[in-house]
A and B are shown apart, each in its own frame.
Chain A
Amino acid sequence: MRGAKILLESLKKEGVDTIFGYPGGVLLPLFDEIYNEKQIKFFLVRHEQGAAHMADGYARSTGKVGVCLATSGPGATNLVTGIATAYMDSIPIVALTGQVATSHIGNDAFQEADITGITRPIVKHNYLVREAKEIPQIVKNAFYIASTGRPGPVLIDLPKNVLAGNIDEFIYPDSPDLRGYKPKYEPNKLQIKKAVELIEKAKKPVVYAGGGVIASSASEELVKFVEKIEAPVTTTLLGIGAVPYNHPLYLGMLGMHGTKYANYTIQDSDLIIAIGARFDDRVTGDVKTFAPHADIIHIDIDPTSISKIIKVDIPIVGDAKNVLKELLQEVKQIRHPEWIEKVMQWKKQYPLTFSCAKEGLKPQMIIEKISELAGEDAIIATEVGQNQMWTAQFYKFSKPRKFLSSGGLGTMGYGFPAAIGAQVANPDKLVIDIAGDGSIQMNIQELATAVKYNLPVKVAILNNGWLGMVRQWQELFFGKRYSHVDISGSVDFVKLAEAYGAKGFRVTKEDEVEKVLKEAFNIKKPVLIDFHICEEANVWPMVPAGGSLHKMLEGSELA
């Protein structure tokens, strides 16, 4: 059996039903096999970066491992941004790359790039396959590594002669062969006991939950836990959806563009219970002034996340779901009426609001409208920048795995291909990318992919003619010296949509918003909606980079 066939058979053993990719010279033996393949659906993208983000969107929306494929050299390097995005957000993907024949490696051969070397710092692990017979075990290991412990991307580099090579018999191994890799799922009992003591003693506890809660499907346990100990709960960007937006104890997102009440609660708390979150600088602001009175219990499956930024008092290494189950069992019911009243007072006093002095649609209103019309099962991807932060603030998420956004790496151009990947995995769901006019142009070529496979993804472009988040920083911190952020008049998005064979709308008036959204949601093909929004709308509130969480800026238009 040919190496290429062994690869496909191995992927099928791992339950792979979808590959996003792009062909190339060294991959010819593999594409020759894919030509006959019935079980795995192949999606031909227009740029390999799109394939990596699609695999990511597929993974985030389902919890399964996403798979992308690219040829050697430039194909492989084009995956890099997508792999780094998945790495920073702990998303399980397996990236397959072609490589020049083993006899040519190191010779600067045509389309040769040392992709295992290039990706080493941005993968959980990677492999260069040297012989066809190694393929089954390496595939087994790769999927196991990607999907267990703290998930992450794994790359398998496949030289041409390995794909073309023959072995007599295909035997797929039952288990991975990884003697150095044993993720720890079960928490240490003593640590649980110490945590329970601290929780029961605390007067002003707060739970700070991140993407780890979603990765371990622990939303239900999280909600039960915060109810049992009566603690307000805030989430990171990646934790959005872990707690329903309308839960009385939910404070929305914390950090740089978090709600004032979430940040005040953190700063005033005497105990932070961090679950599957990593004290990112966008969350903590100035570490020295972060939660000055609080003890910290940190629950994470990755020991390196613990005490990396802030020294914690009680580390608990384990899977969020298992740890929460243990805590729920051990902790007694607690009530903090005074604390809750104080937090609720902040919640009432400092709600998220918006306005814009200039003409144009208010972007936050558009997001609220989408939220209202799309239903709680809709999957929302965002790009990066103002569009992302407004979505995090104003979209009402009720369930996990409905919000796809590049948090750690902050990859502009992520949202649209991620939405396509999510649509492939969820053919019956409404999938919407909330974009900016800058970000959408970074992977706009994938409109061809969406049209070709009739994937009815909707893109809501919040078009202000600026690279809005950078412009906002220039306005606030660089005396309005708008250096290279004006992208007005880039393209006619309606005509662009039509040119690709998609549907385009332009919305400039408030009373058209609802009508167009309803119409778009009913069209069974990709739709681009160009919303002309208020040019200088900003994201408020804001903690300046490196500032203290309780010192939040607010726009003059809010005053």
Chain B
Amino acid sequence: MEKKKTISVIVENHPGVLARIAGLFSSRNFNIESLAVGETEDPSTSRMTIVATGDELVLEQIIKQLNKLIDTLKVIDMSKEDYVERELALIKINIENKNLTDLMHIINIFKGKVLDTGSDSLIVEITGNDERINSFIHLTQTFGIKEMVRTGVVALTRSKKQKE
């Protein structure tokens, strides 16, 4: 059965590492839904947050293959952890001949921010998990989405809570 998994990979911050990871997915025929890369608290490492899909064996294989790369320092299967994840999307929505009040209402519900307004469209920033962004897109589709960009999911495991 197809499942979705969020995986964090801590890698050496070297040139070519992204190509190794991306190449692994294409050469092994793995499905990648999103990939977000950035520096970590330690500038010698980067963190890649990967959302991959596949059946159980494939997902297990993805984690093993990521671990096998020499430049990989750590692979964290987020689905086995308690974690928070966020994604940011910028969406340019058509407002020509549309009811702006309805749109603003939706934006407010989703705690979106309007970053830019033009005569025929505005740009909205939405953050949240994948599901939340998808439902915002779904609701605003009737206005007409002119352009959209998503960062891909980033995730961190939750801090340890004190014992009660």
Binding site for B on A (CB under 8 A): 116-117, 120-121, 124-125, 128, 145, 178-181, 302-304, 306-308, 311
The 4 A-B residue pairs whose C-beta atoms are closest, nearest first, are A125-B70, A304-B64, A180-B73, A121-B27
- In chain B, what residue has the closest Cβ to A126? B16
Q: Write out the residue numbers on chain A whose beta carbons fall within 8 Å of the beta carbon of B19.
A: 117, 120
- Residues A303 and B68 in contact, CB atoms below 8 Å apart: yes
- Residues A303 and B67 in contact, CB atoms below 8 Å apart: yes
- Residues A180 and B16 in contact, CB atoms below 8 Å apart: no
- In chain A, what residue has the closest Cβ to B74? A180
In the complex, A128 Cα to B27 Cα: how many Å? 21
**Closest CB in chain A relative to B44 CB, distance in Å:** 9
- Residues A179 and B68 in contact, CB atoms below 8 Å apart: no
Question: 0/1 per residue, B48-77, Cβ < 8 Å to A?
Answer: 000000000100110011011111111000
The B1-39 residues at the A interface (CB cut-off 8 A) are 11-12, 15-16, 19-20, 23-24, 27
In the complex, A500 Cα to B11 Cα: how many Å? 52
- In chain B, what residue has the closest Cβ to A305? B64
Known: A120-B20, A307-B57. A180 touches B12 (CB 8 A): yes
Q: Write out the residue numbers on chain B whose beta carbons fall within 8 Å of the beta carbon of A303.
A: 64, 67-68
- Residues A145 and B70 in contact, CB atoms below 8 Å apart: yes
- In chain B, what residue has the closest Cβ to A311? B57
Q: List 13 A-B contacts (CB under 8 A).
A: A116-B16, A117-B19, A120-B19, A121-B23, A128-B16, A178-B70, A180-B12, A180-B72, A180-B74, A304-B61, A304-B64, A304-B68, A308-B57
**Closest CB in chain A relative to B11 CB, distance in Å:** 8
In the complex, A306 Cα to B20 Cα: how many Å? 22
Q: Write out the residue numbers on chain B whose beta carbons fall within 8 Å of the beta carbon of A304.
A: 61, 64-65, 68
- Residues B61 and A124 in contact, CB atoms below 8 Å apart: no
- In chain A, what residue has the closest Cβ to B10? A180
**Closest CB in chain A relative to B104 CB, distance in Å:** 48
- Residues B70 and A308 in contact, CB atoms below 8 Å apart: no
**Closest CB in chain A relative to B17 CB, distance in Å:** 10
In the complex, A178 Cα to B64 Cα: how many Å? 18
- In chain A, what residue has the closest Cβ to B27? A121
Q: Write out the residue numbers on chain A whose beta carbons fall within 8 Å of the beta carbon of B23.
A: 120-121
Q: Write out the residue numbers on chain A whose beta carbons fall within 8 Å of the beta carbon of B65.
A: 304
**Closest CB in chain B relative to A120 CB, distance in Å:** 5
**Closest CB in chain B relative to A326 CB, distance in Å:** 22
In the complex, A299 Cα to B67 Cα: how many Å? 18
In the complex, A124 Cα to B69 Cα: how many Å? 8
Residue of A116, A145, A308, A311 with highest tally of chain B CB at under 10 A? A308
Known: A116-B16, A117-B19, A121-B27. A307 touches B60 (CB 8 A): yes
